[in-house]
Amino acid sequence: MFAEKVIELLKEAERNKETIDQFNDEKIRQILEEMHMLFNLNMTDANASSENKSLWTAVQIRHSALERNKRCLLAYLYNRMQKIKTLRWEFGSVLPTDVRELLSDDEYLWFTKYSTNLASYMRSLGQDIGYNGIDLTENLKPPKSLFIEVLCMVDYGKLELEDGDVIMLKKNSRHFLPTSECQTLIRQGILKQIV
Amino acid sequence: MDLEDDIEFSNDEEEITADTVLKTLQSAWQNERLAPEILPHRNDMVECMLGQIQHMERNINKLPKTDLRASIHKMELSRIKFIICNYLKTRLNKIEKYCIPILNEEKQRIDSGTNYLTPSEYKYAQEYLLNLESHLKTVVLNKVPNNMQTFEMSKMAVYPNLQTHVFLQANETVNGVVLEDIFGDQDEEIDLEEGSQHILQYKPIADLVKNGKVQLI
């Protein structure tokens, strides 16, 4: 059956809706190959079909298969792009290596472009009134309280707070910190909120 | 909590209190979150509020750290910051999702001077679409057979669902809102009384949301 591989590809991506899988280079190559094969068959038959109308249906079916392949491939890429976008909001502009490896080189390029674009938009916010931008990736959740209790997961070292105090973040130490200052560290997995 | 305690805010053209700015911003945020399509930007309010925040932060820093007022004000500030961030983020999400139709419509709106996006949002949208297109091209489109290599804008476009239903409250009395009957030709006309609440399709009341006559809830 034509266009079977592309469905496998989509099903695979559909299975893990929340997380991103390894970019399936090999399968995409196979699908592209199938498309070229279909296209070549169609070219020969289309040239012959001016005399022989019976080939016409075959040409049309192959053409639909081609269209379907293209559409599904684009859907696959688009879907992954949406996931990569959420990565930018979760991790910031630098991806952890294990996540980075799941993206293809082109996707990583796209991630960098997206990230730069977002950053330059955020920098432009409030520029007219002397602000140097707002980081929209902070304040993702509505603030509940000014301070939260956090547990440090790794030996991070010194952290300087906005008011100038310096605290030492050691593994398994507990701190009572301003919510606004530990959001990023929590997302990076350095701190963990204790309820 | 009221903000006027700390700041007397005056505008060149008209007197407007920080409280009004916050209320306007809140309703703009609420509308933006609930409306399916992008709404005209309220950058004036955002910038005004940001100025206020700056001002208040300076005031708070003058207070001793242990002062109860300082922490209450800080809490309020972080709430306001959240509203602003979330408002801008909601807009960005819509811009990304409905990038193609928004850009097309925006081009006409810029000509008539009724743009919905701020200049930096517009730049962001263009850049986003450009990146999207070049990514799809390098990965797939350039490798498929010759006759299918085009990036079909119309096929890639995602449109907001204007037929969706929304909850709303009328800020003032509006007479003669026409509800179209898609299947038949029996259009219905209704009047919205001030303060009354309704569940209606978004499309017929879209203009009322944009000019502030109704509030989505």
Does residue A37 lie in a domain region? yes
Please give the C-alpha separations between residue B3 and each of A36, A146, B17, B74, B193, in angstroms, as whole numbers.
67, 18, 9, 12, 32
Does residue A114 lie in a domain region? yes
Neighboring chain A residues of B147 at a CB cutoff of 8 Å:
39
* Co-location of A102 and A8 in the same domain: yes
Q: What percent of chain A has pLDDT over 70?
A: 96
Does residue A167 lie in a domain region? yes
- Hey, of B144, B149, B153, which one would you mutate to test binding to chain A, going by the most A CBs within 10 A of its CB? B144
Does residue A49 lie in a domain region? yes
Mind listing the pLDDT tens digit for each residue in B141-178?
A: 888 887 788 888 888 888 999 989 999 999 988 888 88
Q: Which domains does chain B have, with CATH numbers?
A: 18-160 (1.20.58.1030), 161-216 (3.40.5.60)
* Co-location of A159 and A79 in the same domain: no
Where among A123, A158, A183 does a domain terminate? A123
B-chain residue closest to A33, CA distance: B144
Does residue A139 lie in a domain region? no
Residue B202 in tokens: 């978004």
**What is the overall mean pLDDT for chain A?**
84
Residue B124 gets which letter from DSSP?
H
Query: What's the pLDDT score for residue B12?
Result: 45
Range of the domain at A187: 147-193
* Co-location of A101 and A185 in the same domain: no
Neighboring chain A residues of B124 at a CB cutoff of 8 Å:
117-118, 120-121
A-facing residues of B in 36-75 (CB < 8 A) are: 46-47, 50-51, 54, 65, 71, 74-75
Mind listing the pLDDT tens digit for each residue in A35-62?
A: 988 888 888 887 776 666 777 888 888 8
Cβ–Cβ of B156/A39 closer than 8 Å? Answer: no
Neighboring chain B residues of A131 at a CB cutoff of 8 Å:
50, 54
Q: What percent of chain B has pLDDT over 90?
A: 30
* Interface pTM, i.e. ipTM: 0.82
Asked if residue A170 has pLDDT above 80, the reply is yes
- In whole angstroms, give the CA distance from residue A27 to residue B55: 57
* Co-location of A108 and A30 in the same domain: yes
* Co-location of A117 and A189 in the same domain: no
Query: What's the pLDDT score for residue B4?
Result: 42
* Co-location of A37 and A112 in the same domain: yes
Q: Edge to edge, what strands does the sheet with B197-201 contain?
A: B197-201, B165-170, B214-216
Q: For B31-179, list the strands marked E by DSSP.
A: 165-170, 174-179
Does residue A138 lie in a domain region? no
Contact (CB, 8 A) for A99 and A87: yes
Q: How many domains does chain A have?
A: 2
DSSP characters over chain A: -TTHHHHHHHHHHHH-SSS-PPP-HHHHHHHHHHHHHHHHHHHHHHHHTTT-GGGHHHHHHHHHHHHHHHHHHHHHHHHHHHHHHHHHHHH-SS--HHHHTTS-HHHHHHHHHHHHHHHHHHHHTTGGGT-----TTS--S----SEEEEEE-S--EEEE-TTS-EEEE-TT-EEEEEHHHHHHHHHTTSEEE--
Query: What's the pLDDT score for residue B2?
Result: 43
Q: What is the CA radius of gyration of chain B?
A: 22
Residue B58 in tokens: 């300076």
* pTM exceeds 0.90: no
A160: domain CATH number is 3.40.5
Query: What's the pLDDT score for residue B95?
Result: 93
Does residue A186 lie in a domain region? yes
Q: Could you give the angle at the alpha carbon of B16 between the alpha carbons of B12 and B18, nearest 5°?
A: 120
Does residue A137 lie in a domain region? no
Query: What's the pLDDT score for residue A177?
Result: 84
* Co-location of A109 and A159 in the same domain: no
Mind listing the pLDDT tens digit for each residue in B21-39?
A: 889 999 999 999 999 999 9
Give the burial class of A10: count Cβ atoms within 10 A of its Cβ; 0-12 exposed, 13-18 middle, 19 or more buried.
Answer: middle
